[in-house]
């Protein structure tokens, strides 16, 4: 179910194992040409919509992360006695390496990439993947017991794994997110807790003692609890923001578990260049720094970025698709920490109302117009920050597309 990246990885793996594979997706074939081109020969495609007949003759169903775990079709499969699994579930059952699973509402991608860099300072080979964008099932046969495998795990992925036993489970923070799918904060917390609940006594739960919800999960693991916020020495993190220091502390704690020396850990962190679309420096022109934080797809992630530039005048570009967020803390941070706000996307009207007390809040019809307005407002020392705090589906294919378009617009304007 679902013909995206994990669907392709599953189809390639399963057909190589001699299985017959049917791939179903609601999108029409015209929208899936790049995906179809990657599918192995012999795969049966059911595109552009389907009904329960797609389950006929099926022995097991694998759902992509975007397919709700309680969807009608998956529930029908269960009612027929058909097991329901996922790419990451199958991978964890087959993987021979030592698995580090990193979850949390915000900071997962940066911490996963950074942890991969830290572990690469040791002697064992390292593979990084999961929700970070790189599928791992297509690499499972190259993984030996000597490998470290660092996985970014979303709540969607943790929900889809029967028993996610991780040798090192890391939980960075928990704030309300994806409640349109999980419905309650309690359910969302339970899903994050799955990253440590199946640990054995020789495994590790690496937790953030500064986060109240994460702190409360320590009693739900049999693994050895490591409070990464207490890690010493403090690593020299080159990226801006307190949240990035927390990401670095988590990566350093994993490095210590792996037996690496503090000097090697700190060198790896000091050399880290960051992750695309997460407080990514696009460039600096005429004393103005432009940052792409398109991966901020909820208000909590947006707050992290807004607070990352104390003392600098910030011109914020925000807004997008979605709703149901508690905006009070985001609004307070925008009012306190931004000189101007340019609102785009489906949420622009609501945000304009929420920010009516802001002395300089305005709307732009397109991202191009928002960049032009920001360029006119910026002065030496300013930071222009794309940190939408909303998802991207109203105007863009995904957050990567949004971030790439922003970078292209900025570079076209200044880098000639």
Closest by CA to 389, choosing from 336, 333, 330, is 330
Closest by CA to 302, choosing from 322, 312, 316, is 316
pLDDT at res. 132: 67
What pLDDT, in 10s, does the model give residues 70-126?
899 999 999 999 999 999 999 999 999 999 999 998 889 899 999 999 999 999 999
Both 260 and 211 in one domain: the answer is: yes
At 271, give phi and psi (nearest 5°): -90, -5
Q: Is residue 370 part of a domain?
A: yes
State how far the alpha carbon of 119 is from the alpha carbons of 32, 171, 192, 225, in Å: 36, 18, 23, 20
Both 216 and 184 in one domain: the answer is: yes
Q: Whole-angstrom Cα distance, residue 250 to residue 412?
A: 37
pLDDT at res. 178: 58
Mean pLDDT over all residues of the chain? 93
Both 52 and 113 in one domain: the answer is: no
Of 270, 291, 312, the position where a domain reaches its end is 270
204 close to 224: Cβ distance less than 8 angstroms: yes
150 close to 102: Cβ distance less than 8 angstroms: yes
Both 96 and 73 in one domain: the answer is: no
- Does 156 have pLDDT greater than 60? yes
Both 354 and 382 in one domain: the answer is: yes
pLDDT at res. 141: 93
- Does 377 have pLDDT greater than 60? yes
pLDDT at res. 282: 94
Helix (H) or strand (E) holding 190: helix 185-197
pLDDT at res. 243: 86
Q: Is residue 407 part of a domain?
A: yes
pLDDT at res. 135: 82
Both 383 and 407 in one domain: the answer is: yes
pLDDT at res. 193: 95
Beta strand extents in 160-285 (DSSP E only): 168-171, 204-207, 224-227, 280-285
Q: Is residue 191 part of a domain?
A: yes
Both 231 and 355 in one domain: the answer is: no
Q: Which residue's entry shows tokens 């297509």?
A: 138
Both 245 and 381 in one domain: the answer is: no
Instruction: Name the more confident of 167 and 110.
Output: 167
Q: Whole-angstrom Cα distance, residue 384 to residue 290?
A: 5
Q: Whole-angstrom Cα distance, residue 137 to residue 130?
A: 9
What pLDDT, in 10s, does the model give residues 261-299?
999 999 999 999 888 898 999 999 999 999 999 999 999
At 179, give phi and psi (nearest 5°): -75, -15
Residue 17: which CATH number? Answer: 3.40.50.720
244 close to 279: Cβ distance less than 8 angstroms: yes
Q: Whole-angstrom Cα distance, residue 35 to residue 114?
A: 29
Task: Work out the average pLDDT over 302-322.
Answer: 94
Residue 113: which CATH number? Answer: 3.40.1190.10
pTM for the model: 0.79
Both 211 and 292 in one domain: the answer is: no
pLDDT at res. 180: 59
Both 247 and 341 in one domain: the answer is: no
Task: Work out the average pLDDT over 200-216.
Answer: 96
Can you give the length of the chain in residues?
Answer: 416
State how far the alpha carbon of 123 is from the alpha carbons of 109, 126, 139, 259, in Å: 23, 9, 20, 11
Residue 388: which CATH number? Answer: 3.90.190.20
Strands 22-25 and 361-363: unpaired
DSSP-assigned beta bridge partners for residue 50:
none
Q: Is residue 321 part of a domain?
A: yes
DSSP-assigned beta bridge partners for residue 23:
45
Of 223, 251, 270, the position where a domain reaches its end is 270
pLDDT band for position 242 (50/70/90)? Answer: confident
Q: Is residue 275 part of a domain?
A: no
| Helix, strand, or coil (residue 157) | helix
Retrieve residue 66's tokens: 């975007």
Of 270, 301, 319, the position where a domain reaches its end is 270
Q: Which domain holds residue 244?
A: 88-270
- Does 157 have pLDDT greater than 70? yes
- Does 239 have pLDDT greater than 90? no
Q: Which residue's entry shows tokens 């064992």?
A: 124
66 close to 6: Cβ distance less than 8 angstroms: no
Both 234 and 333 in one domain: the answer is: no
pLDDT band for position 191 (50/70/90)? Answer: very high
pLDDT at res. 183: 62
Total number of domains in the chain: 3
Both 111 and 240 in one domain: the answer is: yes
Strands 22-25 and 126-130: unpaired
* pLDDT above 90: percentage of residues in the chain: 79
- Does 326 have pLDDT greater than 90? no
pLDDT at res. 133: 64
Sign for the CA dihedral angle at 222, 151, 304, 354 comes to: negative
Retrieve residue 49's tokens: 């919509």
Q: Is residue 233 part of a domain?
A: yes
């Amino acid at each position: 179910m679902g013909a995206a990246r994990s669907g392709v990885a599953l189809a390639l793996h399963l057909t190589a194992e001699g299985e017959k594979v049917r791939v179903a997706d609601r999108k029409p074939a015209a929208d899936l040409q790049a995906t179809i081109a990657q599918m192995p020969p012999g795969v049966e495609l059911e595109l552009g919509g389907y009904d329960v007949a797609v389950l006929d003759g099926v022995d097991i169903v694998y759902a992509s992360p975007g397919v709700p775990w309680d969807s009608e079709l998956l529930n029908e499969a269960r009612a027929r006695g058909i097991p329901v699994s996922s790419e990451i579930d199958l991978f964890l059952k087959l993987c021979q390496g030592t698995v580090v699973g990193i979850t949390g509402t915000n900071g997962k991608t940066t911490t996963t990439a950074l942890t991969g860099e830290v572990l690469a300072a040791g002697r064992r080979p390292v593979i990084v993947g999961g929700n970070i964008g790189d599928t791992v099932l297509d690499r499972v046969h190259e993984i030996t017991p000597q490998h470290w495998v660092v996985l970014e795990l979303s709540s969607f992925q943790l929900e889809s794994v029967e028993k996610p036993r991780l040798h090192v489970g890391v939980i960075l923070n928990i704030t309300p997110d994806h409640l349109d799918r999980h419905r309650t904060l309690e359910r969302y917390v339970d899903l994050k807790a799955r990253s440590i609940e199946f640990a054995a006594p020789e495994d590790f739960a690496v937790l953030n003692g500064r986060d109240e919800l994460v702190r409360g999960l320590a009693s739900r693991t049999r693994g050895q609890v490591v409070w990464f916020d207490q890690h010493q020495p403090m690593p020299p993190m080159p990226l801006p923001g307190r949240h990035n220091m927390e990401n670095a502390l988590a990566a350093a704690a994993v490095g210590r578990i792996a037996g690496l020396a503090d000097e090697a850990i700190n060198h790896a962190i000091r050399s880290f260049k960051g992750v695309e679309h997460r407080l990514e420096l696009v460039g600096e022109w005429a004393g103005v720094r432009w940052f792409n934080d398109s991966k901020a797809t909820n208000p909590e992630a947006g707050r992290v970025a807004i607070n990352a530039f104390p003392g600098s005048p910030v011109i914020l570009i925000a807004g997008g698709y979605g709703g149901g967020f508690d905006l009070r803390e985001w609004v307070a941070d925008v009012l306190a920490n931004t000189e101007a706000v340019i609102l785009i996307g489906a949420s622009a009207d609501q945000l304009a109302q929420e920010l009516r007390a802001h002395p300089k809040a305005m709307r732009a019809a397109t991202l191009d117009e928002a960049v032009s307005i920001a360029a006119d407002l910026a002065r030496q020392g300013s930071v222009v920050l794309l940190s939408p705090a909303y998802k991207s589906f109203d105007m863009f294919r995904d957050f990567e597309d949004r971030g790439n378009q922003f970078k292209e617009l900025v570079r076209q304007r200044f880098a000639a």
